[in-house]
């Protein structure tokens, strides 16, 4: 369970981020990866270099960044969300193709391309392989959302016979089922409105709202993927306070908070707590990664352009998961 989101401020800043909904900690931290860093493609053993510097949340394993979401210096963002029961990866490599494990698709995208249009063209050559990164690690069942500062978005999903690429005109992604099903499902909710219904009369009885919010009667309030998709899409479409970069960041986290499971609200069949481990919001123009964590609601910020883009080492930032409180007296 995860939710990805885009927003654009009226003063021209583009934001992309997500909720990471999960029932365990994966040793996550914000990771900075410089240009010209060597990384190994686990599928074929070949060495690759990063063309662009990037910043995102993930896990560093054997000096290899396994990303959950991130952006690069060109203003291209990407996030991987769970696609359980639907994701399909090939068993064999194909000659002449870019053979990758699904855990490396995001690293390959962010380190090589500067726009969604470039990614769309390059995906025709990709073959995703069902090979784990390490012997004891399962292959992640993912689909991906890619967004750029030109306000172009796509969703990448694998099927048994091809990589399906959808234009994402709504700027939202959750989990299964397939993206085109979620878009069709939105049609059921097109009558929702932030406005109050007008007073009406049924036969001789006058009916009128007895409180605010009646126009949203029927908006799903649970944490099922389809419900979070509808709720995020509605709130994004009607977000009111987008005048500045700062107000839009605030709206971004408010929307993600509205679809974030809290402790005790979602319990897995194994009895584990499903929570929003962290929420992220990336400004694609200025390269700042904003995030908060389940135990620390304060917004933290890391600026990619304050790092050495031509450095020689990966940098891992401390993950602050203890509540910070601003005492005013």
What is the rounded CA–CA span in Å between residue 132 and residue 264? 32
Smallest Cα–Cα separation from 158: which of 174, 135, 179, 172?
179
Residue 72 parent element (H or E)? strand 64-72
Smallest Cα–Cα separation from 111: which of 154, 50, 65, 57?
50
Rounded to 5°, angle at Cα 300 from 306 and 247 = 100
- In the numeric block, the tokens 């990336």 are attached to 282
- Asked about 283 being catalytic, the answer comes back as no
What is the rounded CA–CA span in Å between residue 286 and residue 166? 27
What is the rounded CA–CA span in Å between residue 202 and residue 223? 35
What is the rounded CA–CA span in Å between residue 160 and residue 115? 27
What is the rounded CA–CA span in Å between residue 303 and residue 80? 22
What is the rounded CA–CA span in Å between residue 31 and residue 54? 8
What is the rounded CA–CA span in Å between residue 243 and residue 303? 22
Check residue 235 and report its DSSP letter: H
Cα dihedral angle (146, 39, 138, 143), rounded to 10 degrees? 10
Distances (CA, A) of 103 to 42, 109, 151: 10, 11, 25
What is the rounded CA–CA span in Å between residue 57 and residue 124? 27
Q: Is the CB of residue 292 less than 8 Å from the CB of residue 283? A: no
Q: Kindly provide the b/e burial profile for residues 275-290, where b requires at least 16 CB atoms within 10 angstroms of the residue's own CB.
A: bbbbbbbbbbeebbbb
Hey, which residues are catalytic here?
Answer: 2
């Amino acid at each position: 369970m995860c939710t990805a989101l885009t927003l654009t401020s009226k003063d021209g800043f583009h934001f992309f981020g997500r909720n990471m909904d999960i029932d365990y900690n994966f040793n996550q931290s914000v990771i900075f990866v410089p240009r010209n860093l060597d990384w190994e493609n686990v599928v074929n053993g070949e060495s690759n270099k990063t063309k662009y510097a990037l910043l995102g949340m993930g896990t560093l394993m054997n000096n290899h960044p396994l990303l959950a979401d991130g952006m690069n210096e060109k203003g291209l963002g990407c996030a991987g969300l769970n696609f359980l029961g639907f994701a399909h990866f090939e068993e064999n490599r194909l000659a002449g193709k870019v053979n990758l494990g699904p855990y490396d698709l995001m690293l390959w995208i962010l380190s090589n391309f500067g726009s969604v249009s470039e990614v769309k063209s390059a995906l025709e050559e990709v073959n995703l392989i069902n090979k784990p990164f390490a012997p004891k690690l399962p292959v992640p069942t993912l689909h991906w959302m890619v967004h750029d500062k030109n306000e172009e978005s796509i969703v990448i999903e694998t099927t048994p016979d091809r990589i399906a690429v959808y234009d994402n005109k709504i700027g939202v992604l959750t989990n299964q089922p397939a993206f085109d099903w979620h878009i069709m499902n939105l049609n059921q909710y097109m009558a929702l409105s932030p406005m109050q219904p007008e007073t009406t009369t049924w036969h001789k009885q006058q009916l009128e709202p007895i409180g605010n919010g009646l126009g949203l009667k029927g908006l799903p309030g649970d944490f099922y993927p389809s419900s979070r998709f509808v709720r995020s899409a509605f709130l994004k479409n009607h977000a009111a306070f987008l005048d500045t970069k700062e107000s839009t960041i605030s709206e971004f986290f408010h929307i993600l908070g509205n679809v974030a499971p809290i402790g005790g609200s979602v319990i897995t069949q194994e009895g584990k707590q499903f929570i929003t481990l962290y929420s992220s919001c990336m400004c694609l123009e200025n390269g700042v990664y904003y995030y908060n964590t389940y135990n620390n609601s304060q917004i933290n910020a890391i600026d990619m352009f304050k790092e050495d883009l031509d450095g020689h080492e990966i940098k891992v930032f401390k993950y602050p998961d203890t509540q910070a409180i601003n005492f005013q007296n």
